[in-house]
Amino acid sequence: MKVSYYPGCSLHATGKEYDQSMRAVSSALGIELREVEDWSCCGASSAHSTNFDLSIALSARNMIIAQKDDRDVMVPCAACFNRFKTAEHHLKTDEKLKTRIEGIVGAKYEGGNAIRNPIDIIYNEIGLDTLAAKVTKQLSGLRPVAYYGCLLLRPPEVCAFDNYENPHLLGNILDALGADVHNWSYKTCCCGGSLAISKTYIVVNMVDRLMRAAREAGANCVVTACPLCMNNLDMRPSQDLKMPVFYFTELMALAMELSGAEETFKSHIFDPRPLLRELKLI
Amino acid sequence: MNMKTFLDEVNERIDGVPLQRCYHCRRCTAGCPVAAYMEYNPNKVIRMIQNGKRAEVLNSSTIWLCLSCETCVTRCPNEVDIARMMDALRQMAIESGVAAHEKNILKFHDAFLANIKMLGRINEPLLMVQYKLKSGDLFSDMLLGADMLAKGKLSLLSPRTKDLKSVKDIFEKNQAQGDKFL
């Protein structure tokens, strides 16, 4: 499968583990990535919190560039994915807005390229059987809880993704890697992402609640598909509540024993390698 | 003469289900992860808008603390888009020059957008410097920042958008159409 790839700002910076593992996993699964040419920031929370048209226009610029290729646009960052899907929704349902945004961006929006998250592509296009057949190291002993957060799922009619109150795609992918996925009730709770810098004390309370719930569910790690959730869960919990947090693609790379799979663990703030060594996975 | 009420104005910006559909079941507030920190709960804000309490709403901490997690709109039995309402209220507060009750949250957004305008993409270390200079909150997260730097998590020189003009044009053309923020 060939897709356009929009990494977004985080995947070139604090979320580089997600980018590196995403590229490795894509190559192993036969997903050819072509980076959206000269992309710019999607605008994230700061644009939509302060100016609606600006938020749509900043995402639209990238979606319009991606039109050059007849490919789906794969957006791994949950926040960028949400902004692109939101822009797509409004551009397709509000003709007046579309005209206004095209005036601001200076190009026509055609809307022919589907915006997709890699979880969707791996689950629906590649398939779990194909994935499981490529797993050479079962992740035995790893007891993750799958954490989806907000931006992959809500609002459901815009994201059109997984079951929005009880999603399962990410958990199913981890199952296919041989991990012992634990169920929990906090799959879709917010981590506080957009206030991480400006209202840190609120966010610490929020991530502590999540980490406590993961522990109570019997997990020994948390798995995410969002660089903002990753930053918050990896860095912000109180010291006694910390546990390893992984991008799902890092665990896929580990289970498929792809070269460089262990490299990305080094830059986690809470080092996951002691757990992985204990489980004889590295 | 402008005869529009505060309720009319907000409804116009939400451009969806009118707020009058809310029957105050408080499901939005029950599911809101930050309701405990808010001055007014989400459903109370709707009631205040219905009662024309413009200054109180636009001056409140609530509109800035909303995380845009969209749990409220997902669960609302009447499909009232409360998250979009919060965005609209923030934008109205900025446009009418009301000082943000949560100054640092707005300063963060301000620094974030300035960063996009300058580079096309976010450079996280520069964003933090810009935010700290704006907010005066110079020393928080210093140890964390040092740890991140040591682990190679911070890229001081990240690639920028080459066609920066096309990004700047978006800000400028949008401003020409009535953006009073930047």
Calculate what percentage of chain B has a pLDDT beyond 70: 96
Taking 80 as the threshold, does the pLDDT of residue B182 lie above it?
no
How much is the pLDDT for B152?
A: 81
Q: Could you read off the pLDDT of A234-248 as tens digits, one per residue?
A: 999 999 999 999 999
pLDDT at B93 over 70: yes
What per-residue confidence (pLDDT) applies to A155? 95
What is the per-residue pLDDT across B148-160, written as a single tens digit (0 to 9) for each?
888 888 877 778 9
Give per-residue burial for A248-269: e unless 16+ CB within 10 Å, then b: bbbbbbbbbebeebbebbebbb
Residue B87 predicted with pLDDT over 90: yes
Residue B178 is predicted with a pLDDT of 67
Interacting residues of A167 by C-beta distance below 8 A, sequence separation 6+: A146, A148, A152, A153, A161, A187, A188
Average pLDDT of the residues in B46-70: 97
Most confidently modeled of B57-71, B99-113, B138-152, B168-182? B57-71
Token representation of residue B85: 């309402």
Q: Which of B57, B23, B19, B55 is nearest to B39 (CA)?
A: B57
User: Taking CB atoms and an 8 Å limit, are A50 and B181 in contact across chains?
Assistant: yes
- pLDDT value for B144: 86
Chosen for mutation from A17, A46, A268 (greatest number of chain B CBs closer than 10 Å) is A46
Of A38, A52, A206, the CB nearest to B87: A52
Measured between beta carbons, which residues in chain A are less than 8 angstroms from residue B113? 43, 46-47, 50, 54
Question: Do β-strands A221-224 and A144-146 pair in parallel, antiparallel, or remain unpaired?
Answer: parallel
Which pLDDT score, from 0 to 100, does residue A146 have?
98
- B140 to A51: CB separation less than 8 angstroms, yes or no: no
The structure tokens listed for B23 are: 């029957």
| 8 Å CB contact between B34 and B63 | no
The superfamily in CATH containing domain B6-95 is Alpha-helical ferredoxin (1.10.1060.10)
Task: Specify the pLDDT at position B100.
Answer: 85
Q: What is the pLDDT of residue B180?
A: 44
Q: Please provide the DSSP assignment of B65-111 as one string.
A: H-----HHHHH-TT---HHHHHHHHHHHHHHTTPPPSSHHHHHHHHH
Would you kindly state where each structural domain of chain B is located, as residue ranges?
6-95, 103-176
CA-nearest of B23, B152, B10 to B95 is: B10
Least confident stretch, A34-48, A112-126, A181-195, B128-142 = B128-142
Per-position DSSP letters for A140-152, written without gaps between them: TT--EEE--TTTT
- Mean pLDDT score of chain B: 91
Quickly state the pLDDT bin for B181 (edges 50, 70, 90): very low
Taking CA atoms, what residue in A is nearest to B143?
A235
Nearest CA of chain B to the CA of A175: how many Å? 27
Cβ within 8 Å, pair A150-B70: yes
Delimiting residues of CATH 1.20.1050.140 domain(s) in chain A: 2-116
CB-nearest partner of A13 from B158, B169, B177 = B158
C-alpha triplet A102, A106, A108: angle, nearest 5°: 50
With an 8 Å Cβ cutoff, are A12 and B155 in contact?
Answer: yes
Q: Tell me whether residues A198 and B128 touch, CB distance under 8 A.
A: no
CB A198 to CB B105 under 8 A?
yes
Residue A196's pLDDT is what?
A: 87
**Nearest to A120, CA basis, from A164, A74, A151:** A74
In terms of residues, how long is chain A?
282
Chain B CA closest to residue A62: B167
- The pTM score is 0.96
Report the distance separating Cα A15 and Cα A177, nearest Å: 22
Helix (H, G, I), strand (E, B) or coil at A199: coil
| pLDDT > 70? residue B179 | no
Q: Is B21's pLDDT higher than 50?
A: yes
Q: Burial letters for A42-69: b for 16+ Cβ neighbours within 10 Å, e otherwise?
A: bbbbbbbbbbbbbbbbbbbbbbbbbbee
Q: Give the domain A128-278 fold.
A: Rossmann fold (3.40.50)
Look at residue B128 and tell me whether its pLDDT is greater than 50. yes
Q: Does domain A2-116 have CATH number 1.10.260.40?
A: no
Question: Bigger pLDDT: A46 or B142?
Answer: A46
- The rounded mean pLDDT for chain A is 97
pLDDT in the model for residue B2: 64
CB A256 within 8 A of CB A122: no
- Residue A147 has a pLDDT of 98
